[in-house]
Structure 1
Amino acid sequence: METLPQLPEDIIVNILSRLPVKYLIQLKCVSKPWLSLISDPQFAKLHLAQSKKNSISQRVLLISEPLESAACEASDDDLDDASKLIFELKYPAAMKKTPDSVELVNAWLDLGGSCDGLICVVFNDERIFLWNPTIREALELTKLGPFDPKGTFSYGLGYNCSTDDYKVVRVARPSPAVASNETEVEVLELKTNFWRRIQGLKSGIEIEGEGIFLHGALHWLASRQTGPKKFYVIVAFHMVEEKFYVVVPIPDNIKESRHDLLVLGISGDCLCLFDGCGYGTVLEAWLLKEYGVKSSWTRLFSVQRETLQGLEYWGNALCYTKTGKVVIDYDGRKLVWYDPKEKTSKTFTPRNEWVWFQPAVYIESLVSPHCCLLTSRHNDKDI
C-alpha cells in the first residue's frame, strides 16, 4: 500500500497553530515530535497570535464550584445549547489546600486581570498565582511584603514586549486610619519572580478595580481630586517605561452622580466604558474609537435595566463582543448575553455550589505561567 506523502513541517505548524487549544492538547498524544512542537513556547506564541485575530477564543471563566467556562462570542444557537456554550474545567493542584482537596488555598479570592490566557489570582492580598485555566497550569509568585491590611489594593497583569516577559503590578493605598496617604506601587517581572517598589501615583489619584491590558499598558478607571471636585479619568501604566500617565477623561455626557457605576472594559483593540453597572437603572456602553482622543468617545447603546430579563439585584457588564452583544454578570449568579440592536437577551444559569461565581474574561491559549521562568533558567545555563 502506497504511503501518503509527508507534509512540510512549516505547513503542519501553520495548520496546528489555527486549531483550538482543546484539540492541540489531544494532539500531543499523536507523536513525540508533535508533543515537542505543541509544548514549545515559540509555538505557543504563534498560536496566541492566531487566536488574537479570532475573538472566538475569548471566554468568561466562572470561578466557583464547579469551575466552568463560557464562550463570549457564542452564537444564538449556542446560547440555547448549554453543551456548546459552556464546559467544565478543573482547578490546578497548586491552588488547592492539598493536591487532593476540593478547597482552594483561601476562600478570599480576588482577580488581578488577565493577559494572553493567563489570569492573575490573588488570595487574601497575600498569595498571588498566575493561572492558565485552559492548560490547567498555575504558578505561585513570591509573596508580597506586609502592608496596611485595611488598605485597598488593585492589581494588573501585562506583557513587556521589550523583554519578552510578563509583569504583575500592585497598587496599594492605605486606609484613612493610617497617617501616611502614600500610594505604594510594586512590580514583579516573571523572569525574576521578585517584587520591587517603584514610583507611585501622583497625589490625589486613586485607581479602582483590575487593570486592563491594551496597547502595551495596563489601564484603570481612576478618580482625580482637584480642589473640592473629583474627576474621573482613565490612567495607564506603561509596561516598558514603568510610568503612569492619563490616557483620556471619561465622556462629558456621563453625569457626576453616576461615576460610581462605571466599569472599564475592552472591545477588540479599543477601550470601552460601561455606565450603569451595579444598581444603576440605565445601562450604557461607550467605545473609545481613537486611543487617547476624548472626542472619539462613541455611545454604543443605552437601555433601561428594567427591560433586561433576568436582572434581580446587581449587574456588571463584562465585555462587548464583536457581534455586538454585551455579556453581563447578574449578581454572580447568572450570565446574560444582551443584543442592544435586536433588544433581546438570553440568560444562562451555571451549576454553582457556592453562593456566587467570580467572573474573569480571558482567551484560550497555550501560554504557560512557567514560560518566562523556564526561558530565564535556560539563558542562565547558556552564560
Structure 2
Amino acid sequence: METLPQLPEDIIVNILSRLPVKYLIQLKCVSKPWLSLISDPQFARLHLAQSKKNNISQRVLLITQPLESAACEASDNDLDDESKLIFELKYPAAMKKTPDSDELVGWLGLGGSCDGLIFVVLGHERIFLWNPTIREALELAKLRPFDPKGTISYGLGYNSSTDDYKVVRVTAIASNETEVEVLELKTNIWRRIQGLQSGIETEAGGIFLHGALHWLASRQTGPKKIYVIVAFHMVEEKFYELVPIPDNIKESKHDLLVLGISGDCLCLFNGCGNETVLEAWLLKEYGVKSSWTRLFCVHRETLHGHKHWENALCYTKTGKVVIDYDGRELVWYDPKEKTSKTFTPRNEWDWFQPAIYIESLVSPHCCYATNRHNDKFV
C-alpha cells in the first residue's frame, strides 16, 4: 500500500498557525508530535501573531453561572442562532470551593485582558491569570490589603522587551495621591513604583493597546474636572497623558463616559447611563487629539432596554455596538439601522460581569517556561 507523502515541518507549522484555537485544541489528539507542537509557547506566539495580522475577532466572557462566552463580531444570522452566538465554559478548579462544584471561593472581579489572558481578583486578595479558551489558570502572589475608602484600578499588559506579562494596580489614597504596584509574571513579586501625577484618578480596568495600558482618568482643575486618557508604558513603566477627550463632550458627567476598543483603536462612549443620547468617538490616529472622529450619535429611545443602566463594551468591524445592559442582557445595537438583537444569559446569579478578550493558545504558565529559540517559529 502506498503511503501518503509527509509535509515538511515548517509547512505544517505554517498551516496550523492559521487555524482557530478550537480546532487546534482538537488536533492535539492527532499525535504526540502535534501535541508537543501546539503546546509549545513559541507556537502560541506565532499563532497569536497570525491571529492579530488577520484581525482576530473579540469575544465577551460573561462571568456568571453558568460561565458563557459570546462572539462580538456575530453576523445577523448568528445573532438569531444561539448555538452559533454563544457557548458554555468552565471555571478553573482553583477558583471553586470544591473541584466538583461550580460555586466560587468568594467575590470575583475583573482587571482587564491581554492576548487571551484575563486578570481575575478573587475575594480581594487572591489573583489569577486565566485563559478560558484553553482552560488554564495560574494563581499569582497575593495582593496586599487595600484601603476600602480608596478606589482601585487594574490592568494587564505585555512587555515585548522581556517577553513577559505585567499586572498593574493603581490605588487612589488620601490627599489626592496614588499608589502604583507592578507584578511581573517571571518574578511573581509585587513592587511599588512611582505613582500618577497628584490629583489624577483612574477608573475601571486598563485597556492594553500599542504597548501601553490605558485608563479613562480625571484631574481637578479649579472648579472643573478635566477628563483625559492616561497611559502606562509597559517597558518604561511611566505614566503619561495620551490625549484629552473630544472637546464636544468635555461637559459630560464622568460616570457617563466609558473607554472601549474597536479593532486596534481606542474609542470613547458618551452618555452611558441616563443621558438622552448615546454617542461614540474613535481615536483614528493613536495619540493625536485631532483624529477623534464621531462614529454615531443616537437618541436613547432607539436603544433596546434604555430604561436600564448600560455599559458599551466595544464597536465591531460591522458597525455594531456591543452593550451590557445592567449585567442582565447583552445587546448588539446597529446605530445606522437603529436595530438591536438581545441575548439573555441563562444565569443563576441574576447578573453578569463582562470581559472582552480574544481566543489564543497563550498559557498563563508561559513565562515560567524556558524560552527556547527554534528557527521554525521565527
Q: Give the alignment's TM-score, normalised by structure 1.
A: 0.94
User: Secondary structure in 1 aligned to 2:203?
Assistant: strand
CA deviation profile, 1:306-335 (whole Å, cap 9, x unmatched): 111233411110001111111011111111
* CA-to-aligned-CA distance 1:22-52 (integer Å, 9 cap, x gap): 1111110100000000000000001111221
Matching residue of 1:368: 363
CA distance in 2, matches of 1:279, 1:41: 46
Cα distance in 2 between the residues matched to 1:225 and 1:281: 26
Q: 1:196 to 1:279 in 2, by over 3 A?
A: same
Alignment partner, residue 156 of structure 1 = 155
The answer to whether the aligner puts 1:350 opposite 2:345 as a matched pair is yes
> What is the alpha-carbon distance in structure 2 between the residues aligned to residue 181 and residue 341 of structure 1?
42
1:191 aligns with 2:186: yes
The residue number in structure 1 matching 2:376 is none
Please list the CA deviations of residues 274-329 of structure 1 after superposition, one character each: whole Å capped at 9, or x if unmatched: 11113333111100111111111000001112111233411110001111111011
Instruction: Name the residue aligned to 1:295.
Output: 290
- For 2:2, the equivalent position in structure 1 comes to 2
C-alpha displacement at 1:18, in angstroms? 1.2
Q: 1:314 aligns with which of 281, 298, 309?
A: 309
- Paired residue for 1:168? 167
Q: 1:158·1:239 contact (CA, 8 Å) conserved in 2?
A: yes
Unaligned runs of 5+ in 1: none
Q: Aligned partners of 2:262, 2:321: CA distance in 1, in Å? A: 10
Does 2:258 align with 1:259?
no
User: Which piece of structure 1 moves more, 108-117 or 142-151?
Assistant: 142-151
* 1:305 maps to 2:300: yes
Render the CA deviation track for 1:345-371: whole Å, top value 9, x for unaligned. Answer: 111112111120110000000000010
Q: Distance in 2 between matches of 1:14 and 1:287?
A: 34
After superposition, where does 1:136-151 map in structure 2 within 5 Å? 136-151=135-150
Greater mean alpha carbon deviation, residues 270-279 or residues 97-106? 97-106
1:86-235 counterparts in 2 under 5 A? 86-106=86-106, 108-174=107-173, 180-235=175-230
Distance in 2 (CA, whole Å) between partners of 1:44 and 1:94 is: 24
Q: Which amino acid aligns with 1:360?
A: A
Alpha-carbon RMSD across the aligned residues, in angstroms, is 1.5
1:255 Cα deviation after fit: 4.4
Query: What residue number does 2:73 align with?
Result: 73
* Inter-CA distance 198–250: structure 2 relative to 1 (3 Å threshold): same
Counterpart position of 1:323: 318
What count of residue pairs does the alignment treat as equivalent? 373
Shift of 1:2: 1.5
- 2:252–2:270 contact (8 Å) kept in structure 1: no
Q: Is the 8 A contact 1:95 1:138 kept in 2?
A: no
Identity of aligned residues (%): 87
Distance (Å, rounded) in 2 between the aligned partners of 1:313 and 1:234: 27
Aligned to 2:57: 57
- Aligned counterparts of 2:326 and 2:176: Cα–Cα separation in 1: 33
Is this contact kept in 1: 2:227–2:244, CA < 8 A? yes
Q: Take 1:33 and 1:54, find their aligned partners in 2: how far apart are those partners?
A: 26
8 Å CA contact retained: 2:226, 2:250? no
Letter in 2 for 1:149: P
Shift of 1:97: 2.0
Report the TM-score, using the length of structure 2 for normalisation. Answer: 0.95
Distance 2:274 2:7 in 1: 57
Structure 2: distance between partners of 1:97 and 1:199: 37
- SS of 1:209's equivalent? coil
Question: What secondary structure is seen at the aligned counterpart in 2 of 1:210?
Answer: coil
Alpha-carbon offset, residue 375 of structure 1? 3.1
Instruction: Return the offset for 1:105.
Output: 1.6
Distance (Å, rounded) in 2 between the aligned partners of 1:348 and 1:355: 14
- Per-residue CA deviations over 1:132-176 (Å, capped at 9, x if unaligned) read 0001111111012233133211000000000000000000112xx
